[in-house]
Amino acid sequence: MLTQYRQAIDTHRQRIFSFAHYSLRTREDAEDVTQEVFIKLWQHWQKFDHGKLGGWLMRVAHNAVIDHVRKHKNASQIDDYAEVDAQGQEHDVARERDSQAFQQGLLSAIKSLDDPFRAIIILRDIQGASYAEIRETLDMSESQVKVYLHRGRRKLRANPQLRQLFDANVAQAAESQAG
Amino acid sequence: MNSNSDSQCYFVQLQIDSYLDGELGSTQKDSFMAHVQACQDCARELHFAQTLHDAVLELPLLDCEESALEPIHRLTEGKQVDAAETPRSLWQRLTDLFALTPGYARYAMTAAAVAVLAVMLSPYLQDQTQGPQVANTPVQAGVPPEYSPEDVQQALQELALAIDYLNDISERTEVMIGDRFLITPLQDSLNASFERARSRRQDRLQDDPI
């Protein structure tokens, strides 16, 4: 059992932690949620269908994130984006997106989305989960998932800070081209 | 921009996400692209949406520090330690020992334990039944025994009954040794036996004129 449990942690820790980190404000919050999820996995090891482990874990993580957001709604915390920036530097992003400010604005915009828009964008666009997996995790139909995904993306595009940063980057790119 | 154009832009912008996900049919896609190429606002909106979408897609999966999982490892290791290393109580060990012992050996062990206990407890019980004066009397060689052979035989029979009783109890409950089932009935049985023996002796002394 212990070996299987540790294998499950190794397999799913990135997804759980990423989901929590992109949903919550600080790394410590994400670590708390990750710990909570895996402790629940240990406590319920005998009780659930191990064929659906991934979906079960994501459901627990989603619930834990919602609880965490509720508990810390009024807490003033400093956003922790340094980690994301450091790990994101390995990726070759386009010019506008290469701006640190744009990425920070994007992370902030994702975190500020309400549930389930935030959860669906993280699961689908960042983690690449299928509609079926998201449906199972969030207990909604696939058509609902698609509707929420598109609405969530539109909400992101409606974020004035992101729009402003994008416009600035485009203007800068045009200037450098002209120059 | 007239109202017809506005409504076209509205519908095209509604389709942006389907376009980004590759979910538009070929006809829809042609119509969509034709409008975007002709409309600067929609082209700009598509560019923004594409940029944002790509940026989200390229956000990396993050991993937590190993130290964040330490409490979980401690939890699992703690369980292992609890299961493997926690010392078992004497009673648990005795129960395990008896569980592993064949049935006939259990009864033999029980009988032997009762006999040993009877031997160990008999002087104490004898002292109690005879009172402090008798207990303080020095034992002298050649003094006749206090109990007749019949009394001893009777006591032994009652002791055997007590052993049977205890065996029945231990067979039913699988609890072989314990104060509740062994010491108390044995003590009661021996007390009753000695009490009866003493009363018989007193009766004999009363009946005897000398």
Domain locations in chain B?
Answer: 3-57, 90-207
Partners of A157 on chain B (C-beta within 8 Å) are 45, 48-49, 52
Please tell me the predicted confidence (pLDDT) of residue A155. 94
Confidence of residue B137 (pLDDT cuts 50, 70, 90): very low
Length of chain B: 210
Q: From CA A103, how far away is CA A91, in angstroms rounded?
A: 12
Residue A136 contacts B where some CB pair is shorter than 8 Å? no
Asked if residue B135 has pLDDT above 50, the reply is: no
Q: What integer is the mean pLDDT of B85-93?
A: 51
Q: Is the torsion defined by CA of A133, A138, A144, A150 positive or negative?
A: negative
Note whether B51 and A97 are within 8 A (CB).
yes
Partners of A154 on chain B (C-beta within 8 Å) are 17
**Is ipTM over 0.95?**
no
Interchain pair B76, A102: CB under 8 A: no
Interchain pair B52, A17: CB under 8 A: no
Confidence of residue B143 (pLDDT cuts 50, 70, 90): low
Please tell me the predicted confidence (pLDDT) of residue B83. 43
Q: Which of B62, B63, B73, B74 to mutate to test the interface with A (most CBs of A within 10 A)?
A: B62
Note whether B194 and B129 are within 8 A (CB).
yes
Q: What integer is the mean pLDDT of B175-197?
A: 71
**B130 Cβ partners below 8 Å, 6+ apart?**
B146, B198
Of B47, B56, B69, the CB nearest to A126: B56
Residue A97 contacts B where some CB pair is shorter than 8 Å? yes
Please tell me the predicted confidence (pLDDT) of residue B46. 93
Q: Which of residues 145-164 of A touch B (CB under 8 A)?
A: 149-150, 153-154, 156-157, 162-163
pLDDT tens for B52-64 read: 999 898 888 888 8
Of B47, B54, B75, the CB nearest to A97: B54
Q: From CA B30, how far away is CA A143, in angstroms rounded?
A: 25
Of A14, A83, A153, the CB nearest to B61: A14
Q: How far is CA B121 from CA A3, B37, B77, in A?
A: 54, 108, 47
Helices (H) and strands (E) in chain B, counts: 9, 0
CA distance B29 to chain A (A): 17
What is the distance of C-alpha B22 from the center of its chain? 58
Asked if residue B97 has pLDDT above 70, the reply is: no
| B71: closest chain A residue by CA | A35
In chain A, which stretches have pLDDT less than 50?
76-78, 82, 88-93, 96
Q: From CA B73, how far away is CA A39, in angstroms rounded?
A: 10
Please tell me the predicted confidence (pLDDT) of residue B35. 93
Confidence of residue B78 (pLDDT cuts 50, 70, 90): low
From-to residues of CATH 1.10.10.10 in chain A: 94-179
Residue B83 contacts A where some CB pair is shorter than 8 Å? no
Chains A and B form CB pairs within 8 A to the count of 102
User: In CATH, what number does A94-179 get?
Assistant: 1.10.10.10
- In the DSSP assignment, the letter for residue A90 is T
Helix axes B149-173, B184-207, angle to 10 degrees: 160
Of B17, B62, B69, the CB nearest to A84: B62
Q: From CA B23, how far away is CA A128, in angstroms rounded?
A: 16
Cis amide bond preceding A116, omega within 30: yes
DSSP SS3 for A44: coil
Partners of A87 on chain B (C-beta within 8 Å) are 60, 62
User: In CATH, what number does A1-73 get?
Assistant: 1.10.1740.10
Note whether B147 and B154 are within 8 A (CB).
no
| B64: closest chain A residue by CA | A17
- The position carrying tokens 């790119």 is A173
Interchain pair A83, B49: CB under 8 A: no
CA-CA-CA-CA dihedral for B102, B107, B113, B119, to nearest 10: -150
Confidence of residue B82 (pLDDT cuts 50, 70, 90): very low
Note whether A34 and B64 are within 8 A (CB).
yes
Interchain pair A154, B62: CB under 8 A: no
Please tell me the predicted confidence (pLDDT) of residue B87. 47
Asked if residue B113 has pLDDT above 80, the reply is: no
Of B47, B62, B68, the CB nearest to A87: B62
A97, exposed or middle or buried, with CB in 10 Å at 0-12, 13-18, 19+? buried
Please tell me the predicted confidence (pLDDT) of residue A154. 93
Please tell me the predicted confidence (pLDDT) of residue A159. 92
Q: From CA B57, how far away is CA A53, in angstroms rounded?
A: 24
